[in-house]
């Protein structure tokens, strides 16, 4: 007889998703990462921060959303509302991957990749050490309620936190910002699409694939370089092809000229 395997994470997914019936746009972009990897190496050396491809992409996405305000917002009561700031959340693994938590990075369009990395490290450490009371409260609710009730609670949580802009169930107002980024490359996956999470109520989901050898045309000739694939799942209510192309162009510019995302400066020394 089959055994019931119901971790807290599994209970949350069952309570969250239904068979898909909404309009989605999914896109793929494969980019030469040579210049970015050089930038990341220099950024780590100069700033001392653990800059990663994910933190770089977060900074790049922040700039892209600032250019395309129709994606930087939310829908409530049939109307679109734009956020005043650009905030993006990152998914981080907790308890050896048994749980997932989000770390929200605010005003990300103004941050360098090193500054994004610093905030990500701080937020992830806060969650993993058990100091994040919001995450603990949310996980406790999810672990104790039956899945049929969780579906209603998650739906209400999304409505209260995003549509109404209020705290609910351990989550602050607008807890996910305008987009969610997750790295599947760290798991050795080249390419994957993020399934929309209804209660998050964000228009954009980004998955960062693994960095590997790829062939790119350089001066009209094929050349093997380090590259990666980035996928996007977008809510069709927010975006059409034109808006998606704006984001893609911004990404390409960031990858070809990574230094435009911010100067590399060492942290200021503090006197005793």
CATH number of the domain that 37 lies in?
A: 3.30.559.10
Pairing of strands 221-235, 212-218: antiparallel
Please indicate, yes or no, if residue 269 is contained in any of the structural domains: no
Full domain range(s) for residue 116: 25-75+85-129+176-261
Question: 219, 192, 193, 229: which is closest to 57 by C-alpha?
Answer: 229
Please indicate, yes or no, if residue 143 is contained in any of the structural domains: no
Please indicate, yes or no, if residue 48 is contained in any of the structural domains: yes
Please indicate, yes or no, if residue 162 is contained in any of the structural domains: no
What total number of domains does the chain contain? Answer: 1
Q: Is the dihedral of CA 36, 108, 168, 128 positive or negative?
A: positive
Please indicate, yes or no, if residue 16 is contained in any of the structural domains: no
Please indicate, yes or no, if residue 168 is contained in any of the structural domains: no
Please indicate, yes or no, if residue 14 is contained in any of the structural domains: no
- Global confidence as pTM: 0.86
The DSSP output letter for 187 is G
pLDDT value of residue 86: 96
pLDDT value of residue 236: 83
pLDDT value of residue 242: 78
Question: 208, 203, 200: which is closest to 251 by C-alpha?
Answer: 208
pLDDT value of residue 127: 83
Counts of helices then strands in the chain (DSSP H, E) = 7, 9
Please indicate, yes or no, if residue 7 is contained in any of the structural domains: no
Contact 138, 169 (CB under 8 A): yes
Which residues of the chain carry a pLDDT beneath 70?
A: 1-7, 9-10, 14, 17-21, 97, 265-272
pLDDT value of residue 4: 55
């Amino acid at each position: 007889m089959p055994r019931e395997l119901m971790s807290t994470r599994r209970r949350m997914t069952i309570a969250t998703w239904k068979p898909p019936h909404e309009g989605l746009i999914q896109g793929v972009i494969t980019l030469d990462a040579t210049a970015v990897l050089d930038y990341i190496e220099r950024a780590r050396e100069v700033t001392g921060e653990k800059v990663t491809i994910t933190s770089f992409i977060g900074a790049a996405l922040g700039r892209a959303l600032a250019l395309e305000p129709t994606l930087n917002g939310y829908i409530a009561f049939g109307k679109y509302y734009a956020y005043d700031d650009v905030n993006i959340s990152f998914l981080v693994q907790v308890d050896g991957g048994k749980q997932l938590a989000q770390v929200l990075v605010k005003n990300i369009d103004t941050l360098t990749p090193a500054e994004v990395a610093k905030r990500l490290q701080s937020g992830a450490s806060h969650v993993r050490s058990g100091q994040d009371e919001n995450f603990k409260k949310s996980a406790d609710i999810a672990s104790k309620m039956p899945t049929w009730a969780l579906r209603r609670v998650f739906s209400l949580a999304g409505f209260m936190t995003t549509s109404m802009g209020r705290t609910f169930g351990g989550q602050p107002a607008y807890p996910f910002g305008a987009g969610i980024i997750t790295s599947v490359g760290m798991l050795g996956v080249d390419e994957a699409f993020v399934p929309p999470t209804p209660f998050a109520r964000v228009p954009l989901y980004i998955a960062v694939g693994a960095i590997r050898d790829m062939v790119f045309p350089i001066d009209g000739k094929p050349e093997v370089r380090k590259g990666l694939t980035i996928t996007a799942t977008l809510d069709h209510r927010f975006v059409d092809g034109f808006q998606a192309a704006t984001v893609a162009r911004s990404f390409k510019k960031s990858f070809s000229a990574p230094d435009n995302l911010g100067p590399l400066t060492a942290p200021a020394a503090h006197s005793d």
